[in-house]
Protein backbone atom coordinates (compact mmCIF):
# COMPACT_ATOMS: atom_id res chain seq x y z
CA UNK A 1 0.00 0.00 0.00
CA UNK A 2 1.48 3.38 -0.93
CA UNK A 3 1.90 5.68 2.06
CA UNK A 4 -0.39 8.71 1.85
CA UNK A 5 0.75 12.24 2.55
CA UNK A 6 -1.45 12.23 5.69
CA UNK A 7 0.19 9.03 6.96
CA UNK A 8 3.65 10.51 6.32
CA UNK A 9 2.64 13.66 8.18
CA UNK A 10 1.35 11.75 11.18
CA UNK A 11 4.53 9.63 11.32
CA UNK A 12 6.75 12.73 11.10
CA UNK A 13 4.77 14.48 13.83
CA UNK A 14 4.98 11.44 16.10
CA UNK A 15 8.76 11.28 15.53
CA UNK A 16 9.26 14.92 16.55
CA UNK A 17 7.00 14.46 19.56
CA UNK A 18 9.34 11.75 20.86
CA UNK A 19 11.93 14.53 21.39
CA UNK A 20 9.94 17.65 22.24
CA UNK A 21 6.42 18.75 23.17
CA UNK A 22 7.03 22.42 22.34
CA UNK A 23 4.25 24.17 20.47
CA UNK A 24 5.78 27.03 18.46
CA UNK A 25 3.38 29.70 17.17
CA UNK A 26 5.82 30.93 14.51
CA UNK A 27 7.73 28.82 11.98
CA UNK A 28 10.71 30.01 9.95
CA UNK A 29 12.41 28.37 6.99
CA UNK A 30 16.00 29.54 6.64
CA UNK A 31 17.38 29.95 3.14
CA UNK A 32 20.84 29.42 1.64
CA UNK A 33 23.47 31.24 3.71
CA UNK A 34 20.82 32.33 6.26
CA UNK A 35 21.25 29.47 8.73
CA UNK A 36 22.95 31.84 11.19
CA UNK A 37 19.52 33.25 11.99
CA UNK A 38 19.16 30.17 14.21
CA UNK A 39 22.01 31.45 16.42
CA UNK A 40 19.59 33.93 18.05
CA UNK A 41 17.37 31.11 19.37
CA UNK A 42 17.35 30.88 23.16
CA UNK A 43 16.82 27.63 25.02
CA UNK A 44 17.10 25.58 21.78
CA UNK A 45 16.10 21.99 21.20
CA UNK A 46 17.22 20.52 17.86
CA UNK A 47 15.72 17.57 16.03
CA UNK A 48 17.81 16.28 13.11
CA UNK A 49 15.88 15.54 9.93
CA UNK A 50 17.30 12.03 10.02
CA UNK A 51 15.35 11.49 13.25
CA UNK A 52 12.07 12.40 11.56
CA UNK A 53 10.40 9.45 9.86
CA UNK A 54 9.90 10.00 6.14
CA UNK A 55 11.65 13.38 6.16
CA UNK A 56 14.07 14.33 3.38
CA UNK A 57 17.65 15.16 4.39
CA UNK A 58 18.91 18.52 3.08
CA UNK A 59 22.16 18.62 1.10
CA UNK A 60 22.45 22.20 -0.19
CA UNK A 61 25.50 24.34 0.65
CA UNK A 62 24.88 26.59 3.66
CA UNK A 63 22.15 24.27 4.94
CA UNK A 64 22.25 22.18 8.10
CA UNK A 65 19.42 19.68 8.31
CA UNK A 66 17.44 20.08 11.49
CA UNK A 67 14.46 21.65 13.17
CA UNK A 68 15.42 24.07 15.93
CA UNK A 69 12.80 24.83 18.58
CA UNK A 70 13.26 27.69 21.01
CA UNK A 71 12.50 31.26 21.95
CA UNK A 72 13.27 33.84 19.30
CA UNK A 73 12.80 37.47 20.30
CA UNK A 74 10.29 36.40 22.92
CA UNK A 75 8.30 34.11 20.63
CA UNK A 76 8.02 30.37 20.75
CA UNK A 77 9.45 29.45 17.35
CA UNK A 78 10.52 26.53 15.22
CA UNK A 79 13.14 26.99 12.53
CA UNK A 80 13.91 24.72 9.63
CA UNK A 81 17.66 25.06 9.42
CA UNK A 82 18.06 23.59 5.96
CA UNK A 83 15.23 23.34 3.48
CA UNK A 84 14.40 20.99 0.64
CA UNK A 85 14.93 22.04 -2.96
CA UNK A 86 13.72 20.53 -6.19
CA UNK A 87 17.29 20.62 -7.50
CA UNK A 88 18.37 18.13 -4.84
CA UNK A 89 15.93 15.69 -6.38
CA UNK A 90 13.18 16.00 -3.75
CA UNK A 91 9.65 15.70 -4.98
CA UNK A 92 7.40 18.76 -4.61
CA UNK A 93 5.28 16.78 -2.11
CA UNK A 94 8.35 16.27 0.13
CA UNK A 95 8.66 20.04 0.33
CA UNK A 96 4.97 20.30 1.21
CA UNK A 97 5.29 17.66 3.94
CA UNK A 98 7.75 19.84 5.86
CA UNK A 99 5.34 22.80 5.80
CA UNK A 100 2.42 20.64 6.94
CA UNK A 101 4.59 19.42 9.82
CA UNK A 102 5.40 22.98 10.91
CA UNK A 103 1.69 23.76 11.01
CA UNK A 104 0.82 20.57 12.93
CA UNK A 105 3.52 21.46 15.47
CA UNK A 106 1.50 24.58 16.27
CA UNK A 107 2.66 27.28 13.85
CA UNK A 108 0.07 29.93 13.02
CA UNK A 109 2.32 31.73 10.53
CA UNK A 110 5.28 30.82 8.34
CA UNK A 111 8.23 33.10 7.63
CA UNK A 112 10.15 31.91 4.56
CA UNK A 113 13.56 33.32 3.73
CA UNK A 114 15.64 32.69 0.65
CA UNK A 115 18.58 33.85 -1.41
CA UNK A 116 17.54 35.39 -4.71
CA UNK A 117 19.02 37.07 -7.73
CA UNK A 118 17.90 40.61 -8.59
CA UNK A 119 15.94 40.84 -11.83
CA UNK A 120 14.96 44.40 -10.94
CA UNK A 121 17.66 46.83 -12.12
CA UNK A 122 17.23 48.97 -9.02
CA UNK A 123 17.95 46.16 -6.54
CA UNK A 124 21.49 45.53 -5.30
CA UNK A 125 23.27 42.57 -3.68
CA UNK A 126 23.04 42.74 0.11
CA UNK A 127 19.52 44.20 0.08
CA UNK A 128 16.33 42.62 1.45
CA UNK A 129 13.04 42.19 -0.44
CA UNK A 130 9.69 41.46 1.17
CA UNK A 131 7.88 39.07 -1.17
CA UNK A 132 4.60 40.63 -2.29
CA UNK A 133 3.65 37.72 -4.54
CA UNK A 134 5.25 34.92 -6.49
CA UNK A 135 5.23 33.30 -9.91
CA UNK A 136 5.82 29.57 -10.01
CA UNK A 137 8.07 28.86 -13.01
CA UNK A 138 9.19 25.47 -11.74
CA UNK A 139 6.72 23.56 -13.86
CA UNK A 140 5.58 21.59 -10.82
CA UNK A 141 3.08 21.94 -7.99
CA UNK A 142 3.35 20.26 -4.58
CA UNK A 143 -0.38 19.46 -4.57
CA UNK A 144 -0.26 17.34 -7.73
CA UNK A 145 -1.86 13.94 -7.19
CA UNK A 146 -4.62 12.71 -4.93
CA UNK A 147 -5.84 15.37 -2.50
CA UNK A 148 -6.53 14.56 1.12
CA UNK A 149 -9.30 16.81 2.41
CA UNK A 150 -8.02 16.10 5.94
CA UNK A 151 -4.98 18.19 4.96
CA UNK A 152 -6.60 20.88 2.83
CA UNK A 153 -8.86 21.66 -0.13
CA UNK A 154 -8.28 20.45 -3.70
CA UNK A 155 -8.02 23.97 -5.14
CA UNK A 156 -6.59 26.31 -2.50
CA UNK A 157 -6.84 30.05 -3.10
CA UNK A 158 -3.53 31.84 -3.71
CA UNK A 159 -4.81 35.34 -4.40
CA UNK A 160 -3.17 36.61 -1.20
CA UNK A 161 -0.36 34.09 -0.97
CA UNK A 162 1.85 36.48 1.05
CA UNK A 163 -0.43 37.86 3.74
CA UNK A 164 -0.93 41.63 3.17
CA UNK A 165 -1.59 42.42 6.86
CA UNK A 166 1.56 40.59 7.94
CA UNK A 167 3.51 42.34 5.18
CA UNK A 168 2.44 45.69 6.61
CA UNK A 169 3.93 44.54 9.93
CA UNK A 170 7.16 43.63 8.09
CA UNK A 171 7.35 47.13 6.58
CA UNK A 172 6.80 48.71 9.99
CA UNK A 173 9.41 46.42 11.57
CA UNK A 174 11.98 47.28 8.88
CA UNK A 175 11.31 50.96 9.49
CA UNK A 176 11.82 50.60 13.25
CA UNK A 177 15.01 48.61 12.58
CA UNK A 178 16.27 51.36 10.26
CA UNK A 179 16.56 48.82 7.43
CA UNK A 180 15.61 49.76 3.87
CA UNK A 181 13.24 47.18 2.40
CA UNK A 182 12.35 46.43 -1.19
CA UNK A 183 9.00 44.85 -1.92
CA UNK A 184 8.50 42.80 -5.04
CA UNK A 185 7.58 39.64 -6.88
CA UNK A 186 9.58 36.43 -6.56
CA UNK A 187 9.96 34.13 -9.54
CA UNK A 188 10.52 30.53 -8.46
CA UNK A 189 12.57 28.30 -10.77
CA UNK A 190 13.68 24.69 -10.40
CA UNK A 191 17.45 25.11 -10.92
CA UNK A 192 20.11 24.05 -10.24
CA UNK A 193 21.55 25.62 -13.37
CA UNK A 194 21.21 29.36 -13.17
CA UNK A 195 19.02 31.16 -15.68
CA UNK A 196 20.28 32.19 -19.07
CA UNK A 197 20.38 35.92 -19.68
CA UNK A 198 17.44 35.55 -22.08
CA UNK A 199 15.42 33.76 -19.40
CA UNK A 200 16.21 36.51 -16.88
CA UNK A 201 15.01 39.16 -19.31
CA UNK A 202 11.86 37.11 -19.82
CA UNK A 203 11.18 36.79 -16.08
CA UNK A 204 11.80 40.50 -15.66
CA UNK A 205 9.44 41.31 -18.53
CA UNK A 206 6.82 39.09 -16.89
CA UNK A 207 6.88 41.39 -13.87
CA UNK A 208 9.16 39.56 -11.43
CA UNK A 209 11.74 41.42 -9.34
CA UNK A 210 13.83 38.54 -7.97
CA UNK A 211 14.48 34.92 -8.94
CA UNK A 212 15.33 31.93 -6.80
CA UNK A 213 15.14 28.16 -6.47
CA UNK A 214 12.86 27.73 -3.45
CA UNK A 215 9.85 29.13 -1.58
CA UNK A 216 7.02 28.79 -4.10
CA UNK A 217 6.21 25.18 -3.18
CA UNK A 218 6.38 25.98 0.52
CA UNK A 219 3.98 28.88 0.07
CA UNK A 220 1.57 26.74 -1.94
CA UNK A 221 1.63 24.07 0.80
CA UNK A 222 1.07 26.77 3.43
CA UNK A 223 -1.96 28.04 1.51
CA UNK A 224 -3.22 24.46 1.36
CA UNK A 225 -3.37 24.34 5.17
CA UNK A 226 -4.40 27.99 5.66
CA UNK A 227 -1.05 29.06 7.10
CA UNK A 228 -0.31 32.76 6.40
CA UNK A 229 3.12 33.42 4.87
CA UNK A 230 5.71 36.17 5.19
CA UNK A 231 8.48 35.97 2.56
CA UNK A 232 11.86 37.68 2.81
CA UNK A 233 14.49 37.44 0.07
CA UNK A 234 18.17 38.09 0.60
CA UNK A 235 19.27 39.68 -2.66
CA UNK A 236 22.61 38.05 -3.42
CA UNK A 237 23.51 38.87 -7.02
CA UNK A 238 22.48 40.92 -10.02
CA UNK A 239 20.43 38.74 -12.36
CA UNK A 240 19.07 41.23 -14.86
CA UNK A 241 20.36 39.41 -17.94
CA UNK A 242 21.39 42.78 -19.36
CA UNK A 243 24.54 43.55 -21.37
CA UNK A 244 26.49 44.10 -18.14
CA UNK A 245 25.42 40.74 -16.64
CA UNK A 246 28.39 39.15 -14.83
CA UNK A 247 28.81 35.38 -14.29
CA UNK A 248 27.32 34.25 -10.93
CA UNK A 249 29.28 32.30 -8.35
CA UNK A 250 28.03 30.40 -5.30
CA UNK A 251 30.72 32.19 -3.23
CA UNK A 252 29.20 35.57 -4.14
CA UNK A 253 25.73 34.28 -3.31
CA UNK A 254 26.75 32.95 0.13
CA UNK A 255 28.78 36.11 0.97
CA UNK A 256 25.95 38.48 0.07
CA UNK A 257 23.40 36.24 1.79
CA UNK A 258 25.34 36.89 5.00
CA UNK A 259 25.09 40.67 4.44
CA UNK A 260 21.36 40.52 3.73
CA UNK A 261 20.97 37.95 6.51
CA UNK A 262 22.15 40.42 9.14
CA UNK A 263 19.50 42.85 7.87
CA UNK A 264 16.82 40.15 7.93
CA UNK A 265 17.87 39.33 11.51
CA UNK A 266 17.44 42.99 12.49
CA UNK A 267 13.98 43.10 10.87
CA UNK A 268 12.93 39.84 12.58
CA UNK A 269 14.03 41.23 15.96
CA UNK A 270 11.43 43.97 15.52
CA UNK A 271 8.84 41.86 13.74
CA UNK A 272 8.53 38.81 15.97
CA UNK A 273 7.41 40.62 19.12
CA UNK A 274 4.90 42.62 17.02
CA UNK A 275 3.16 39.61 15.46
CA UNK A 276 -0.38 38.88 16.62
CA UNK A 277 -0.79 36.18 19.29
N1 LIG B 1 18.97 32.67 -9.72
C2 LIG B 1 18.34 31.67 -9.09
N3 LIG B 1 18.49 31.42 -7.81
C4 LIG B 1 19.29 32.24 -7.10
C5 LIG B 1 19.97 33.30 -7.70
C6 LIG B 1 19.79 33.53 -9.09
O7 LIG B 1 20.37 34.44 -9.68
N8 LIG B 1 20.68 33.91 -6.73
C9 LIG B 1 20.42 33.24 -5.58
N10 LIG B 1 19.57 32.23 -5.80
Residue 3 has pLDDT above 90, yes or no: no
d(CA 241, CA 198): 6
Residue 60 has pLDDT above 80, yes or no: no
Q: Whose CA is nearest to atom 6 of ligand 1?
A: 117
Q: Domains in the chain, start-ordered, CATH in brackets?
A: 5-274 (3.40.50.1580)
- At residue 39 the predicted structure's pLDDT band, cuts being 50, 70 and 90, is confident
Average pLDDT over residues 143-172: 96
User: What is the pTM for the complete model shown?
Assistant: 0.95
Average pLDDT over residues 51-67: 74
- At residue 163 the predicted structure's pLDDT band, cuts being 50, 70 and 90, is very high
d(CA 120, CA 210): 7
Residue 123 has pLDDT above 90, yes or no: yes
| Residue 259 phi, psi dihedral angles, 5° rounding | -65, -50
With a 6 Å cutoff on the Cβ, whether 210 touches ligand 1 is no
Average pLDDT over residues 5-20: 94
What's the pLDDT at 35? 79
Q: Are 40 and 73 in contact (CB under 8 A)?
A: yes
Beta strands (DSSP E) in the chain are 26-30, 42-48, 66-72, 75-81, 109-118, 128-136, 182-188, 210-212, 229-238
Average pLDDT over residues 165-183: 98
CA of 154 to the centre of ligand 1 (A): 31
Residue 38 has pLDDT above 80, yes or no: yes
Residue 229 has pLDDT above 60, yes or no: yes
CB atoms within 10 A of CB 149: 8
d(CA 85, CA 262): 23
Q: Which of 65, 139, 114 is nearest to 214 (CA)?
A: 114
Q: Which of 184, 173, 191, 197 is nearest to 270 (CA)?
A: 173
Give Cβ neighbours of residue 19 (< 8 Å, ≥ 6 apart): 45, 47, 51
What's the pLDDT at 62? 52
What's the pLDDT at 209? 98
With a 6 Å cutoff on the Cβ, whether 115 touches ligand 1 is yes
What's the pLDDT at 54? 82
What's the pLDDT at 56? 77
Q: Are 79 and 67 in contact (CB under 8 A)?
A: yes
Amino acid sequence: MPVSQLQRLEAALAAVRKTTDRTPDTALILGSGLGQLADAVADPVAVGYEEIAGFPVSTAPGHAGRLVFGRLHGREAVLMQGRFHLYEGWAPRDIALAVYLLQRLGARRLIVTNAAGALNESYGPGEVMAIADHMNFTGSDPLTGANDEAIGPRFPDLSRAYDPALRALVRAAAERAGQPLQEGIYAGVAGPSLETSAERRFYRASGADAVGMSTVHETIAAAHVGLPVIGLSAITNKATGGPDQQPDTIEEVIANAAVSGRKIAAILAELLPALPA
